[in-house]
Structures are given as C-alpha cells and as structure tokens.
Amino acid sequence: MLFSQVIGHSDLKGRLIQKVAGKRTGHAMLLLGPEDSGALALGLGFARYVLCRDRGAEDACGKCPSCLKLDKLAHPDLHFFFPTAPNQEHKMNASSRLFMKSWREALLSNPYISWTDWLEQMGIENKQAIINTEDCNDIIRVLGMKSYESPYRIIFIYMLEKLYHAAAPKLLKVLEEPPGNTLFIMVSENKDRIINTILSRTHITRVPLPSEKDVYLGLKEKFGLDDKKAQQISFITGGSVTEALKLCRNDEDLLADFDTFREWMRACFKNDTGMILKWIENTVRSGRENQKAFFQYGLKIFRMCLYHNYNTTGLIRLEDEEREFIGKFAPFVNHRNILRIVEEFNQAIMHLERNANSRILFADLSFRLHALMHEKTS
Ligand SMILES: [Zn+2]
C-alpha cells in the first residue's frame, strides 16, 4: 500500500510524512478511526513509507528492495499482530503467527477489510477473536532480535482493543521501555475499549471518514470507475470506503440510480399494482448487495426531501431532473412519516441480510409506502 493508493486523508498523510522527516514519529502511534475510515490502509501506507529505502517527499518509492517485499506484505522488519481465534485448521490454539498467511491474503486483496471480513476470512464468524498472550510473547521475542534490513522495525497491531486483558501487562512493559529503533503502529476503532494504561502510552492520531468527494475521486482515479458509477457509489456510501469498495466489486449495473427509484416511487404513489410488479421483476434480478445499496440510496433521497422541506437546499447537490422530482416528492415525505419510512427501509436492509425473499419484501414495502405517502392528505 502506497500513500497514493489510500483514498482521501491528504492532510493526515502530510502530517505523517512530516513526522518521519522530523524524526518525530514517537515509538507508539495509534491510528484511531471508524472501520470505514481506512485507518488500516493508512497504517500500511505509513509502514511502507518508514521502511522505504528511497522515500520521496510525498510517498514511498515503490521500487526499492524494501517496497518490493512490502508488495507481498513480507518484509522481515514488519511484524503483524491481530486478533485470532481457533478455527477448523487450528483447532487447539490460535495466534497471529499461525494465521499470517490468511492475514496477508486478506490484506493484499483488500486493505480496507472490515472486522467482519477478517472474521470471515479466518472462518470464525461466531467466535470472539483476541490478541492473546502468545502474540505478546511473540512481540517480546521479535523485540529481542536485531532488525534485519531496515534501521527501523515495526510492530503493527490491528484492533488494539481486542488485546486480551491478561496479556496486556506484557505489551505494556515493552511500550513503557521500548527498545531502540522500534515503531509500534497500532490501529483501533474504539479507544474506550483499550486498557487505559496501554492507551496512555500511545500517541493518538485520529482518522476521520474521508469526505464523499474524496471517495468519489478515489473511486475514479485509483479504482478506474467511470464518472457516473463513482458518483452513484460515493453518494450512497457517504465516506465509507469499505462499503464503497464492496459495491465496486459488484459487476452488475447499480440499481441505485435515480430513474429506478423514481419509477418505483411513482408506482407506489399511484398504488399501480401492475407497474409495481413489473418493477419488482426487473429489480429482483440483481444481487442482494445491489438491492441493499438501492435502499441506502432511497434513504439518501428521503433525507434530501427533508432538506428540501426545511429549505436547507444548499445541502443538496442534484441534477436538474432530480431536483424537480425531489420538489414534487418532498411534500409527501414529512415529519409525520419520515421516521417510519426510514425504519421500513432499515428493516428491509436487515431482512435482505437475513436472506428474505426479495419479491415479497419489495411488494410488501411498496404497499406500505403507498399508505405512508398518503397519510399527509388523509
Ligand atoms: Zn521504496
């Protein structure tokens, strides 16, 4: 992961680069940000920048022996630790060392993995995964050795909040008395769950969600999406890079477009059963992720209607045709029904996740929406 491959966060990248230049990295950096922020990807970019032999003013070189090893996440001075739990293959015990192959595969295919993705990758969906005592023993063992190639060695910890409390004293000890030339890069989503004594030994760098515009530009420039799809996806997912990339991997045409939504709302509004059923037949052909994204899109349109109703039009970035539709549609989305509409859509997303029958779900929702839209005039 090069900095240039990380979506958004240009300020943060600049700050991290300055820390390296000024030799002010500290020895324990905590990148703290929500799952969708890309804190993990940013941490990987930073590790590469620190280890690169020929780094430039803005990024690692991508070509030196160190960068080539990092292309495979196999640099002898970069040591990963992350939560694990026993699975089919490792039935009796688990540790980062045992799961290193899975970890590299997961990150190489997607540096924006979510916590759930990682649990799925290990095949332990329903178990608690932790950074355990064995991991902390390994950290101590690594720190007892010399670095191989780089002046620095990096201990990279993902999800510091999953550190098992009985293992914490071992990690605390090395954080309190760090050996020279060692940099801890730690990533966390929730600092409230980190043991206080550990937290107090770290320098926190907060990683916010990237802006919708950053995601849009990132999808276009870094992932080669065409303009329309990049706009659609960034609009639906806001700043969530993880969700945006999930939608990018979806090869189908995105349902979540304005024409599809307008057609459905018109059919619901008129309670035109023939039109509704025809619309449903076209819609259920696409996959579930796509259908979920469609509901997310719908939630955004409803929010725009509210903005319109409260005259906060400055918040709305819309094409003319969309603006016209929102203008006509907004009076039917109001303080009386909006909470229930939002609830219906959230329920629909949840039911799709639980493999509900899409035809029934869309049909049922269409008739409810009709009733909700007409409450105003009743
Ligand atoms: Zn390099």
Q: Are 119 and 256 members of one domain? A: no
CA of 50 to the centre of ligand 1 (A): 9
Does any domain span residue 378?
no
Does any domain span residue 227?
no
Average pLDDT of the chain?
Answer: 90
Neighbours of 193 (CB within 10 A): 13
- What confidence tier does 180 reach under pLDDT thresholds 50, 70, 90? confident
Distance CA 266, CA 119 (A): 42
Closest to 21 measured CA to CA, from 48, 73, 45, 56: 56
CA of 51 to the centre of ligand 1 (A): 7
Where is the domain boundary, 208, 235, 269?
208
DSSP state of 130: B
CA of 60 to the centre of ligand 1 (A): 5
Does any domain span residue 277?
yes
CA of 283 to the centre of ligand 1 (A): 47
Report percent pLDDT > 90 for the chain: 61
Q: Does the global pTM surpass 0.85? A: no
* Selection from 70-79, 142-151, 310-319 with the highest mean pLDDT: 70-79
Q: Are 170 and 279 members of one domain? A: no
CA of 128 to the centre of ligand 1 (A): 37
Q: Is the pLDDT of residue 184 over 90?
A: yes
Mean pLDDT of all residues in 192-221: 94
CA of 140 to the centre of ligand 1 (A): 27
User: Over 311-358, what HEC string results?
Assistant: CCHHHCCCCHHHHHHHHHHHHHCCCCCHHHHHHHHHHHHHHHHCCCCH
Does any domain span residue 281?
yes
Where is the domain boundary, 147, 176, 208?
208
Where is the domain boundary, 151, 185, 208?
208
CA of 73 to the centre of ligand 1 (A): 13
**CATH number assigned to the domain comprising residue 91:** 3.40.50.300
CA of 288 to the centre of ligand 1 (A): 41
CA of 48 to the centre of ligand 1 (A): 7
Q: Are 18 and 153 members of one domain? A: yes
CA of 69 to the centre of ligand 1 (A): 9
For 55, the domain range is: 3-208
Close Cβ partners of 310 (under 8 Å, ≥ 6 residues apart): none
For the ranges 34-43, 106-115, 134-143, 289-298, the lowest mean pLDDT is seen at 289-298
Q: What is the pLDDT of residue 240?
A: 87
Does any domain span residue 78?
yes
Q: How many domains does the chain have?
A: 2
CA of 159 to the centre of ligand 1 (A): 27
